[in-house]
Structure 1
């Protein structure tokens, strides 16, 4: 219960003071800890190639691990993660083995050549990719190099069948899982429960030969001009924001894409293309920063797929505060200039030496 009110609140932290923690509750927590699964001699390997931007797994990457576990656990196999940089997330996500690829930076051709070498030398029954901009491109490159059968944008996957809609979703294509598969978003649930050992694997990759790309560089788009549906980080203003000049300055300082609630768009203060929600644009961004937005049901539908949500609102009981992973109960009109000053001070500081 919230002090001074009769409204119940959810405590997602599940923290209990040590003096109040019962021994039975502590024992139950220990028993519920994820167990470590070790597969010493797998019958075969199911590989996956996550996008993992910046070394972090995306929700689509975690779904990829869930699909790989379903294929591996059906016959005593193991999951091999083919990644650019190993990390601590792969074991809890469901990886039994981790193989570091000899690729750094944005070089899709070199990465495809390295994957083709691993595909030819290792006993990989299946190789899974996310059907994303990078994952889908890489899967098609590998299919062209190896000549292995490829099933793109699978919407359901099991050890016996893989399916997808076709011809305007009027028919369903179904077949046994081929060697190369890319998964559509939300096709399979992420792996949960047991933790796997994520044992590093040594493999001598050959020197890449035959590549036609001499130089590859990823050039990010201007976030101010990116459509909301394709934006990675969105900062939105609601009815609690009246100083739109400071809001636009903050959006530029955060290198984000501007968004807005329906009320601001209806009032003509923000363009209709910036409206977030079921009646506007449904986001697929990794980060969403809501300033002065209470959180109508239609707006919450628009941010349902966002991985991280930050909200600033004066109402402790606002639906957006409840949805947020990080909430600031304060006036957005005061938070915006304070945050802008911190960003400006940080920009003026000299770069730290590594």
Structure 2
């Protein structure tokens, strides 16, 4: 399996980018960079994505997330910094080495499907293998298997225009899976879908990765999507990563007023889980069925509204962690997002994406 590490990554568009990186490192702000006729799209980004982790980069348009993901697979060259895939810095790779890295280690799922209209669903799913030089029989076998994984068995001979938007995105996902790379980069992959289909695709991704254990870096501007999908979430603003943490950490411990403003309207009942409020206890109360530690509080609340008794919580090995009480659920759901600064929460701005 493959891990990805980003170290002090910068991307400046405009004149004298290297000099502007030095100015940013010395404390210059975005206004100074704009005055120099440039745009600081990504500023000093550092993070590590572990093997099998789903890491979500969340930010509004203009936050730099699209630029960031294009540097992760070498589509854009950083002004400064490193992107290490399995410990190897891809920023210094030649064009052939980059192509080989993408074919062998890193696949991408795009927002607008990027399917070939003149190719069948099967041929689209196998395209990554075709450009790798894989035999036709092996391409068909792996493409059929990937299409089956995403629920498109029986649709192999159709064409993209015969599919719904959700089905076309499943073909894009199948193409990435067929390539059998360890890392999936997903750039606003579900944002073009209507809400119901979007939810189905999120479920599909969660279920698939529970089976396959891919390393996923997922870009989104939708906070609820970020918190639903991510093992950890990186919040971006004006090119900088302002906080990295689990959904619960970001919800309960926002790093600044900008993040606090962002999360204040999140449905806490869908983000917080039993694990966050469990009270340690060695044995389960008699007569009560346990719940997994990742059970959303919304489900706990529904259960407790019928019978207000403590609910035992177990881990993946069915070991008792403790109990969740009705009082703890009520307190967690009613808790206000803490203010971080002395003044009002920061305004959330939106700009053209970079």
Higher relative CO (Cα under 8 Å, sequence separation at least 6) belongs to: 2
TM-score in terms of structure 2 length? 0.28
Structure whose residues are more often helix by fraction:
2
Rg: which structure is higher?
1
